[in-house]
Structure 1
Amino acid sequence: MNIIIVTGSAGLIGSEAVQFFCDKGYTVVGIDNNMRQVFFSADASTKWNRDRLLQCYGDRYIHHNADIRDQEVISNIFKTYNQDIRLIIHTAAQPSHDWAAKDPSIDFSVNANGTLVLLENTRQSCPNAVFTFCSTNKVYGDTPNNLPLVEQELRWEIAETHSYYDRGIDESMSIDQFKHSLFGASKVAADILVQEYGRYFGMRTAVFRGGCLTDPSHSGMKLHDFLSYLMGCTMTGQPYQVFGYKGKQVRDNIHSFDLVNAFYHFYQNPCRGEVYNIGGSRFSNCSMLEAIQYCEAIADKKLNWSYAEPNRIGDHIWWISDVQKFKDHYPDWNLTYTVKDILEEIFTTNIGRWCQDMVLSH
C-alpha cells in the first residue's frame, strides 16, 4: 500500500493535497483537529471540508481528528502505516502573525513543536519517506522592506537599478537580525528543523517558503487569506480594512493546485534538506489596490473598504517569489493560475453561498 500523510488535511493546501493524491490512486491519511476554528472562530471551521473529502473519496481517505503536538497519538498513526508511508505533506499550522502575538506559546507549540513531533516520527517509522513542509516567506522577517522600492500609482515596485530582483526574491536573502513577527519566528524554528533532519539525518526533506496561498476552498478570515476574504467582503458588503503602505503593498499569489503539484514533482525526485521560495512569482501577483479593483470588476460591486495606519508589525511592503531555483530542479513544473484566474474561481465557486448569506442577513 502507498500511503500519503497530510497534516492540516481539511485546510486549504491540505485538502488540495488529499484530492490530488487520491485522484492519483494513493491512500491518504489526513490529520486535522479543526484548530482553525479555535484560532479564528466558528466561521473558520474546516469541518465542512473534512466531510466533503470523506464523502468524495470513501476508503481512499482516512481521517484522524488528532493534534500534531500529541506525541503518543501521532506515534500510533505512524506506527500503524509504518513503511507503507511514502510522503508526508505537512501543512498544519497556526497561520496568522496577528494571532501569534495574542498567544505566543500556542503559536510556537503548534508551528515548531508540532513539526518536531512529525519529523521525529518520520525518522523512527519511515525514514525513507519524503517530507515536504509548508513554510512561509515570513521567515525572512521584514528584510525585504530594505529593498530599493519605488512608488507607482497602484503598487510599490523594485527600482529599475536593481535588476537582480526582476524575477523576485530568491533563497539567498538572509533570515537573520530582522523583525519577523512571533509567527515568523515559530515558522523559522520549524523551517530549520526540516532542513536539519535532511542534512543531519540524511532524510529527504524540503521546505517550501510560500507567500499568499489560496483557492476557493479556503475558509477566508480577516486575519488570514486576503483574496478569499476580500472577495467575500466585496460580495456581501462587509467592511474591509487595509493596513498601511497606502494599500500598495504587493503579494504574489499561488493557487493550491500549483503548490501541491510542486510537492508532487519534488516527491518524484527528492533532495535532502532543500529550501525553495514558492509563490505566484511575476506570473501571479498584485497589490492590495489592484486586488480590490479585480474583485469589484468580477463581482460588479463596490467594496466597502477603509484605510488604517500603521502597517502590521513585520509586514512586507513588496514580496514576489523568485521560483527559478525550483524551476531549475523541476523544469516540467509550471504555474497555471494568475491572480485574475484565482479570483474568478473564488467568485464562481462561492457566489451561491454568499448570496444566501446576504438573504439571511436581511
Structure 2
Amino acid sequence: MSVAIVSGSGGLVGSEASQRFAAAGYDVVGIDNDMRRLFFGADASTLWNVDRLERSIGSGYWHFSVDIRNREAVRDVFRIYGREVEVVVHAAAQPSRDWGEREPSTDFAVNALGTLNLLEATREFAPEASFIFTSTSKVYGDAPNSLPLIELDTRYDIESGNRYHAGIREDMSIDACHHGVFGASKAAADLMVQEYGRSFGLNTVCFRTGTLAGKHQSATSHHGLLSYLMRCVISGTHFTVYGYKGKQVRDLMHASDLVTAFIEYSKNPRPAEVYNIGGGRKISFSIVEAIDRVQALTGKQMNWSYLSVMRAGDAIWWIGDSSKFETHYPKWVLTRNLDMIFEEVHEMNVDRWSEAT
C-alpha cells in the first residue's frame, strides 16, 4: 500500500492534493482539525470540504482531526502507516498576516512547531518519503519593494531591464526586511524543511507560492484573495483595498497546477530544494484589475472602498519566476489562464454565495 499523508486536507491545496494523489493510486490520510474555523469564523470552516473528500474518494481516504501542534498525536498517525508513507504534503497553516499579528504565539506554534512535528514524524517513521511543504512568497517579506517600481494606469511593474522582470527568483534574500509575524513563522518553517533535507537526507522541498485559487476554497477577508473578492461582489459584502492605490500586483496559480508540481517532484525528489512557483507575468493581476474582472464576470458592481494605509510587510509587486522548477521538471506546465481561474471560482460558488445575500 502506498500512502500519502496530507496536512490541511480540508483546505484549498490540501483537498486538491488529496484528490489528485488518490487518483494516482495512493491511499490518502488527511490531517485537519478545522482550525480555519477558529482563525476566521464559521464561514471559513473546512468541514464541508472534508465531507466532500470522504464522499468522493470513499474508502481510499482516512481522516484524522489532529492538531499538528500536538507532537504525540502527529506521531500516532505516522506510526500507523510507517514506511508505507511515500508522500507527505504539508499544507496546514495559519495563513493570515493580520491574524498572525494578533496571535503571534499561536501563529508560530502552528506554522513553525507544527512543521517541525511533521518533519520529525517523517524522519522517524517514513524517512524515504517525499516531504512537500507549501511555503509562501511572504518569506521574502517586503524585500521586493526595493525593486525599481514603475506606476502604470492599473498596476505597478518593474523596469524591463531588471534581473527580476520575468519574476522573482530564489536568489532574492529573505534577510533585512519586514516579514510580519506570519511571514517570519513561515520562513522559520521553510528553513527547517530545507535543513531536514541537508542534515538528515530527507527528500524535502519548499514551494514558495504567490496567490492561489480554485473551486474548493473557504474564502475569508483574511485569506484567499480572489475567492473573497468574488464572494464580496456576489453577496454584496463590502471590500476594503489597502494602500498603493489598489495597484499592487500578485501572480495567480490554480491549486491543481501546484499539485501537479507536487506530483512531478514526488516522482523524482531532490533533497532540500526550494522553488518559487506561480502564474508568472502572464497570469497576474492588480487589485483594481481584479475588481474590474469580477464586476464584468458577475454583472454586479462591487461595494468597495480604499484606505491609504499600507500593510506592514506587504509586497507591492510579487510575480514569481518558476523557471528553476521548469528546468528540473520539464513536464510541468500551467494549464489554467487568468480567465479560466476567475470563471471557475465564479461558476463553482455563485449559488452558495448568492444564498448569503
Q: So what's the TM-score if we normalise by structure 1?
A: 0.97
Paired residue for 1:258?
257
Paired residue for 2:39?
39
- Compute the displacement of 1:356 (Å): 2.2
Paired residue for 1:277?
276
- Compute the displacement of 1:69 (Å): 1.1
Partners of 1:212 and 1:253 within 8 A in 2: yes
Q: So what's the TM-score if we normalise by structure 2?
A: 0.99
Partners of 1:7 and 1:14 within 8 A in 2: yes
- Compute the displacement of 1:339 (Å): 2.2
- Compute the displacement of 1:199 (Å): 0.7
String of CA shifts for 1:212-245, please: whole Å, max 9, x gaps: 1111211110011110000111111111100000
- Pairwise mapping of residues 272-351 of structure 1 onto structure 2 (< 5 A)? 272-351=271-350
- Compute the displacement of 1:161 (Å): 3.5
String of CA shifts for 1:57-107, please: whole Å, max 9, x gaps: 111000000011111111111110001000000000000011000010000
Paired residue for 2:78?
78
Q: What is the letter of the counterpart of residue 89 of structure 1? A: V
Residue 245 of structure 2 is aligned to residue 246 of structure 1: yes
- Pairwise mapping of residues 14-93 of structure 1 onto structure 2 (< 5 A)? 14-93=14-93
- Compute the displacement of 1:165 (Å): 1.7
Q: What is the letter of the counterpart of residue 9 of structure 2? A: S
Paired residue for 2:142?
142
Partners of 1:191 and 1:207 within 8 A in 2: yes
**Structure 1 stretches lacking a partner, 5+ long:** none
- Compute the displacement of 1:260 (Å): 0.4
SS at match of 1:200: helix
Question: How much identity, in percent, do the aligned residues show?
Answer: 51
Q: How many matched pairs? A: 357
Q: What is the letter of the counterpart of residue 323 of structure 2? A: Q
Paired residue for 2:352?
353
Comparing 50-59 and 26-35, the one that deviates more: 50-59
- Pairwise mapping of residues 114-125 of structure 1 onto structure 2 (< 5 A)? 114-125=114-125
SS at match of 2:157: strand
**Structure 2 stretches lacking a partner, 5+ long:** none
- Compute the displacement of 1:52 (Å): 0.7
Partners of 2:159 and 2:165 within 8 A in 1: no
Paired residue for 1:158?
158
Paired residue for 2:189?
190
Moved over 3 A (4+): none
Whole-Å separation in 2 of the counterparts to 1:13 and 1:222: 18
Whole-Å separation in 1 of the counterparts to 2:107 and 2:289: 31
Comparing 147-156 and 19-28, the one that deviates more: 19-28
- Compute the displacement of 1:338 (Å): 1.8
String of CA shifts for 1:141-193, please: whole Å, max 9, x gaps: 1000010010000000011242x222100000000011100000000110000
Residue 205 of structure 2 is aligned to residue 206 of structure 1: yes
Whole-Å separation in 2 of the counterparts to 1:340 and 1:237: 22
Aligned Cα root-mean-square deviation (Å): 0.8
Whole-Å separation in 1 of the counterparts to 2:308 and 2:165: 29
Partners of 2:278 and 2:319 within 8 A in 1: yes
Whole-Å separation in 2 of the counterparts to 1:176 and 1:39: 28
Whole-Å separation in 2 of the counterparts to 1:340 and 1:234: 17
